[in-house]
Copies of this chain bind each other. A is one copy, B any other.
Amino acid sequence: MDKTDLVRFEAQAQIMKALSHPTRLFIVHELAKGEKCVCELTEMVGADTSTISKHLSIMKNAGIVGHEKRGTSIYYTLKMKCVLNFFVCVNEVLKKNYEAQRAFA
Protein backbone atom coordinates (compact mmCIF):
# COMPACT_ATOMS: atom_id res chain seq x y z
CA MET A 1 0.00 0.00 0.00
CA ASP A 2 1.68 3.21 -1.05
CA LYS A 3 1.95 6.34 1.05
CA THR A 4 -0.59 8.41 -0.90
CA ASP A 5 -3.17 5.65 -0.67
CA LEU A 6 -2.58 5.33 3.04
CA VAL A 7 -3.24 9.03 3.58
CA ARG A 8 -6.44 8.81 1.59
CA PHE A 9 -7.64 5.70 3.42
CA GLU A 10 -6.91 7.35 6.74
CA ALA A 11 -8.97 10.36 5.75
CA GLN A 12 -11.83 8.16 4.61
CA ALA A 13 -11.60 6.12 7.80
CA GLN A 14 -11.93 9.25 9.88
CA ILE A 15 -15.21 10.11 8.21
CA MET A 16 -16.48 6.56 8.58
CA LYS A 17 -15.48 6.61 12.23
CA ALA A 18 -17.42 9.81 12.76
CA LEU A 19 -20.47 7.84 11.58
CA SER A 20 -19.77 4.77 13.70
CA HIS A 21 -21.64 5.56 16.87
CA PRO A 22 -25.34 4.89 17.55
CA THR A 23 -25.93 8.35 18.99
CA ARG A 24 -24.28 10.03 16.04
CA LEU A 25 -26.33 7.97 13.61
CA PHE A 26 -29.45 9.01 15.46
CA ILE A 27 -28.41 12.63 15.17
CA VAL A 28 -27.77 12.27 11.45
CA HIS A 29 -31.24 10.81 11.01
CA GLU A 30 -32.80 13.64 12.96
CA LEU A 31 -30.88 16.31 11.08
CA ALA A 32 -31.99 14.73 7.84
CA LYS A 33 -35.51 15.83 8.80
CA GLY A 34 -34.39 19.36 9.56
CA GLU A 35 -32.05 21.50 11.66
CA LYS A 36 -31.91 21.04 15.41
CA CYS A 37 -30.13 22.85 18.21
CA VAL A 38 -27.90 21.10 20.74
CA CYS A 39 -30.54 21.46 23.40
CA GLU A 40 -33.16 19.68 21.29
CA LEU A 41 -30.81 16.83 20.45
CA THR A 42 -29.74 16.53 24.08
CA GLU A 43 -33.36 16.23 25.09
CA MET A 44 -34.07 13.61 22.43
CA VAL A 45 -31.07 11.44 23.20
CA GLY A 46 -31.26 11.80 26.95
CA ALA A 47 -27.53 12.20 27.56
CA ASP A 48 -25.45 14.96 29.07
CA THR A 49 -25.23 18.13 27.00
CA SER A 50 -21.45 17.90 26.89
CA THR A 51 -21.68 14.39 25.50
CA ILE A 52 -23.92 15.55 22.65
CA SER A 53 -21.74 18.57 22.04
CA LYS A 54 -18.72 16.33 21.63
CA HIS A 55 -20.54 14.05 19.21
CA LEU A 56 -21.53 17.08 17.16
CA SER A 57 -17.99 18.38 17.25
CA ILE A 58 -16.67 15.11 15.84
CA MET A 59 -19.13 15.25 12.98
CA LYS A 60 -18.53 18.93 12.37
CA ASN A 61 -14.79 18.34 12.08
CA ALA A 62 -15.43 15.52 9.65
CA GLY A 63 -17.55 17.82 7.49
CA ILE A 64 -20.70 15.77 8.04
CA VAL A 65 -22.73 18.51 9.69
CA GLY A 66 -22.70 22.27 9.67
CA HIS A 67 -23.87 24.77 12.25
CA GLU A 68 -25.39 28.18 12.31
CA LYS A 69 -25.96 30.45 15.25
CA ARG A 70 -29.36 32.05 15.56
CA GLY A 71 -30.70 33.73 18.66
CA THR A 72 -29.29 32.06 21.72
CA SER A 73 -28.91 28.62 20.15
CA ILE A 74 -26.69 26.90 17.64
CA TYR A 75 -28.53 25.01 14.97
CA TYR A 76 -26.93 22.01 13.33
CA THR A 77 -27.73 20.83 9.81
CA LEU A 78 -26.80 17.78 7.77
CA LYS A 79 -24.28 18.70 5.09
CA MET A 80 -23.41 15.18 3.93
CA LYS A 81 -26.76 14.33 2.39
CA CYS A 82 -25.37 11.45 0.38
CA VAL A 83 -24.87 9.47 3.56
CA LEU A 84 -28.60 8.79 3.53
CA ASN A 85 -28.25 6.61 0.44
CA PHE A 86 -25.66 4.61 2.25
CA PHE A 87 -28.02 3.76 5.05
CA VAL A 88 -30.13 1.93 2.49
CA CYS A 89 -27.02 -0.05 1.61
CA VAL A 90 -26.24 -0.77 5.27
CA ASN A 91 -29.78 -1.88 5.93
CA GLU A 92 -29.60 -4.32 3.04
CA VAL A 93 -26.55 -5.89 4.65
CA LEU A 94 -28.31 -6.07 8.01
CA LYS A 95 -31.25 -7.77 6.36
CA LYS A 96 -29.02 -10.32 4.65
CA ASN A 97 -27.16 -10.96 7.90
CA TYR A 98 -30.42 -11.51 9.69
CA GLU A 99 -31.66 -13.93 7.05
CA ALA A 100 -28.37 -15.80 7.00
CA GLN A 101 -28.46 -16.17 10.77
CA ARG A 102 -32.06 -17.25 10.64
CA ALA A 103 -31.23 -20.04 8.24
CA PHE A 104 -29.23 -21.73 11.00
CA ALA A 105 -31.78 -21.28 13.77
Q: Name the B residues within 8 Å of A97 (CB-CB).
A: 62-63
Known: A46-B1, A63-B96. A80 touches B91 (CB 8 A): no
Is the Cβ of A20 less than 8 Å from the Cβ of B26? no
What is the total number of residues of chain A having a CB less than 8 Å from a CB of chain B?
44
Is the Cβ of B94 less than 8 Å from the Cβ of A15? yes
Number of copies: 2
5 contacts between A and B (CB under 8 A): A1-B44, A5-B26, A16-B16, A63-B94, A83-B89
Residue A100 interfacial (CB < 8 Å): yes
Known: A15-B93, A85-B89, A100-B63. A22 touches B46 (CB 8 A): no
Minimum-distance CB pairs A-B, first 5? A82-B89, A9-B22, A16-B20, A17-B20, A63-B97
